[in-house]
Structure 1
Amino acid sequence: MLHVITGANGAGKTLNTLKWVRERSLKENRPVCHNGRFEPVPGGELSSWKKIDFKDWQKEPDGTIFLIDECHNDLPVRGSGAAVPEEVRMLAEHRRRGMDFYLVTQHPQNLDNFVRRLVGSPGWHRHLKRTFGADLVSCIEWEAVNPNCEKSGSGKSGTVTMVGFPKEVYSWYKSASLHTGKKKIPRAVWTVLATVVLVPVMGYLAITGVYKNVTKGAPQAAETAAAKSGSSGATNAGQTRVVTPYEYVQSHTARIPGFPHTAPAYDQVAQPVEVPYPAACVTMRDECRCYTQQATLITMDEATCMLIVKRGFFVDFKRPNADMPLQRQEKPAVTAQLAPVQTVVPQTVPMPEPRERSAPLPQDSYSQGLAARNAQVRSIFQ
């Protein structure tokens, strides 16, 4: 079968292929031939391997394993319409002789197109990518040649495994080139590491900064009061300190931009004294809105708003208004004393003038406020 191994310079193509071929030759007890792009160490693990000219591969016995390093020199891309050489054409019949070819090059497009189309299962194409210049590569395997093997995301269509550099293989051969690859961590990795470190630190600093701004408002207000008392003649110099211009500016800087009342200087006078609640909810023009007791719009989902319109909203934290009129109490009965019976001469009694109708009792302040809010809400939609 045909096996294609590709990868950039320094990706460990030759190193790993030597290991794969040797393991297979020992396991299956098969001879190995190579094209001489590397020099086996005399008496070493590869000393039994035979160096040949690729054009003569058909002269080798059946079952031979061929390792053709830098195969683009022996199987170059041919021009359009050029005849297929005999040694290339016969690769289509290598299987009947039980031979296997391991073809090593930087990219499959450097290989003869006729040969590329012969690669198929149980053969494969493996592309090696070195990880950060370390002695570790990702090995992506496909059943056929992938012409876009070097592109990002190519591993989605293949099987990816991590392969370490077999360092013991270095002692098996003398490479024709020096290994000059250096370990280098990409900038993206540094960026990710910096983000992992800096985000928690910046979050901690932000939280502590907000906490300090919140907690230092009261001491600054106390210092301002102490400074004023000192300027008016306070005798206790230990409790008097003049506020610096910087501290004064900081105390009047709003914590939330656009909301001056959030400045630390106003912490003592800006305490909440009222609870907002839906005092008025109305539906108009297929829209439901709720307003607070100060006629400000409440951010509320429509379902809740419609529920309040339908069933109302009970304010259980509001005390009854003290101005509401009390129920009239019945006057205690008066015990009458019996008097002697006297004869009374009937007299004409003039009819009393009709009394003027008493003025209606004034509404309580809550009712008046509710009426005013309803009027204000109605004016918004008019």
Structure 2
Amino acid sequence: MLYIRTGLMGHGKTLNTIKEVDQKAHKEGRPVYFHNVTGLEPDKLQADWFEFEEPHKWFDLPQDSIVVVDEAQQFFGTRDPRKDVPEYCSRFEIMRKQGHEVHLITQDPRFLDVHARRLCNKHIHYSRIFGSSKLVRYETERCYETVDKFPTNKLADKTTVSLDKKYFGVYSSAQAGHHFKFKPSKKAMFFAVATLVTAFLVFRALNLFYGSDDSKSGQADSVVAQVQNAVGSTTGSLFGSVGEGDKPLTATQYLAQLEPRVPNIPASAPVYDELTSPQTHPRLFCAASDDPDLLERTSHPIGVYNGVRTSCVCYTQQVTRVDVGFQFCMNAVKHGYFDNTRPDQQQQLAQGGFNQNGMQPNQLRPSVQSPPLRSSSFPAFGPEPPQVTRVTVVPYEKGQFAW
């Protein structure tokens, strides 16, 4: 099998490779051959480790052996795709016949020959957490080239491991542990300081609340001063002065405000939020028809109502079509629906008979009527009881007039 092990410098890829391979080889009784692992001391390990000189001849090593090559990009690096695949890469195709297991260690899989990447059986990537001694170990069945996207790869097995200090003196790169000193990030420091400040404020607030009345005034002033000093020094050291937050928007931030939240609707961009507050709400006006001629050429929804093919459609007061269920549409046409946003006419008459615009209640209906739709059995309606209007369809013959 071919393993590719990756990770940035100081993220423990070589140390953990030595640890995992040594434990596996010791358990299975297999020899380990290594190349380019600086200062490795085999006598400090459990399995039998042997150094070999020619990494391109790894396939000449004894059968069932495990091979480890550090900084593998120096020996199995990328090549001109127009050239033939070298033997040291093509032999990965049949490595199982000899029982070999090869571990190539590098910082990024894209540094390796594409032929080796395509034949990879397992890809293991190490990522250090906030510069601490904890690592996140990702493992996939194939080579995953975009290692920076491992946290979002749902197919990768994810485990948390710790740097084993027993292996710091096994090879020279980690002899003094200088690569693995704890270096917390500013984000981690901020959360730690914020936690301490919050705990301090809660303690002081409780002490102030339950303290004596004579001392409350002095304690309040003291708490305010301490909070100002603590928060000011913390935010100032980590993020600079407060005035930096008032800087003009960058080009990226400005363009982000122009990006619509909803595709094809420019007004949904954040820059228009103060201009797009709702001024009204949709009021439905629905109509239905079972006219066969209309049904043949309409694009409106068609269903069966009381055993008859019927078309039913709803529009708003702005003559924009609304997609509703057929049963709802027919029920609204036949029985209407209650609009709780319209005042009662009796209430308006009791208040003077006219509204603030000088209009009588019967003038409050929307000025936009339902879209014209010929009907032989059903009325058009708004959000009020329908008024039935009968329409008689007169046959027409060319050359003759109805009157």
TM-score scaled by length of structure 1: 0.51
In the aligned structure 2, how far is the partner of 1:156 from the partner of 1:134? 24
Q: Which amino acid aligns with 1:44?
A: K
Match of 1:79, SS state, is coil
Q: What is the distance in 2 between the residues matched to 1:125 and 1:286?
A: 66
Cα distance change, pair 197–287 in 1 and its aligned pair in 2 (3 A): farther
For residues 20 and 284 of structure 1, what CA distance do their matches in structure 2 show?
71
* 1:126 equivalent among 111, 124, 129: 124
Give the partner amino acid of 1:188: K
1:81 Cα deviation after fit? 1.1
Cα-to-partner distance string for 1:231-287 (whole Å, 9 max, x where unaligned): xxxxxxxxxxxxxxxxxxxxxxxxxxxxxxxxxxxxxxxxxxxxxxxxxxxx99614
Matches within 5 A, 1:202-351: 286-287=342-343
Distance in 1 separating the partners of 2:355 and 2:199:
49
Q: Confirm or deny: 8 A CA contact 2:33 2:49 kept in the other structure.
A: no
What's the counterpart of residue 285 of structure 2? none
Counterpart Cα distance in 1 of 2:108 and 2:86: 21
Q: Following the alignment from structure 2 to structure 1, what is the Cα–Cα distance between the partners of residues 87 and 108? A: 23
CA distance, structure 1, for counterparts of residue 6 and residue 20 of structure 2: 14
Q: Could you say which residue in structure 1 is the equivalent of 2:12?
A: 12
Equivalent in the alignment of 1:135: 133
- In the superposition, relative to structure 1, how do residues 147 and 185 fare at CA in structure 2: closer, same or farther (>3 Å)? same
In 2, Cα distance between equivalents of 1:94 and 1:159: 25
Cα deviations by residue, 1:286-330 (Å, 9 ceiling, x for unpaired): 148xxxxxxxxxxxxxxxxxxxx9xxxxxxxxxxxxxxxxxxxxx
Does the aligned pair in 2 maintain the 1:69–1:105 contact within 8 Å? yes
For residues 168 and 72 of structure 2, the distance between their equivalents in structure 1, rounded to whole angstroms, comes to: 21
Seen in structure 2, the aligned counterparts of structure 1 residues 208 and 99 have a Cα distance that, compared at 3 Å, is: same
Deviation at 1:47, TM superposition (A): 6.2
CA distance in 2, matches of 1:201, 1:378: 60
Q: Which residue of 1 aligns with 2:188?
A: 189
Distance 1:377 1:187 in 2: 68
TM superposition shift of 1:173: 2.9
After superposition, the Cα gap between the structure-2 partners of 1:102 and 1:287, relative to the gap in structure 1 and judged at 3 Å, is farther
- In structure 2, C-alpha distance between the alignment counterparts of 1:143 and 1:284, rounded to whole Å: 60
Are residues 51 and 201 of structure 1, via their aligned partners in 2, closer, same or farther at CA, if it must alter by over 3 Å? same
What's the C-alpha RMSD, in Å, of the aligned pairs? 3.8
| 1:339 aligned partner | none
Correspondence for 1:378 among 341, 344, 351: 351
Judge conservation of contact 1:7–1:107 (CA < 8 Å) in 2.
yes
- Check conservation: 1:36, 1:51, Cα contact below 8 A: no
Give 3-state SS (helix, strand or coil) of 2:148's partner.
Answer: coil
> Where do 5+ consecutive residues of structure 2 fail to align?
214-338, 357-403
With over 3 angstroms needed to count, the CA separation of the structure-2 counterparts of 1:54 and 1:196, relative to structure 1, is: same
Q: Which residue of 2 aligns with 1:224?
A: none
Distance in 1 of aligned mates of 2:201 and 2:348: 50
Return closer, same or farther for 1:381/1:147 CA change in 2, 3 Å cut-off: same
- Tell me how many residue pairs correspond in the alignment: 227
Aligned residue for 1:77, secondary structure, equals coil
Question: Can you list the C-alpha shifts for 1:76-129, whole angstroms capped at 9, x where unaligned?
Answer: 011231221111111111011111011110011111110000013xxx111101
Identity %: 26
Q: 1:136: how far off?
A: 1.7
Equivalence map 1:52-71=2 (5 Å) = 52-71=53-72
Instruction: Structure 1 unaligned segments of length 5 or more: list them.
Output: 216-282, 289-308, 310-373
Q: Name the aligned partner's letter for residue 2 of structure 2.
A: L
| 8 Å Cα contact 2:5/2:123 also seen in 1 | yes
CA contact (8 A) 2:42 2:49 kept: no
Taking the aligned partners of 2:152 and 2:167, their CA distance within structure 1 comes to 28
Q: CA deviation at 1:195?
A: 4.2
**Secondary structure of the corresponding residue to residue 175 of structure 1:** helix
Contact 2:138-2:150 within 8 A present in 1 as well:
no
CA distance in 2 between partners of 1:180 and 1:204 (Å): 40
8 Å CA contact 1:125, 1:146 repeated in 2 = yes
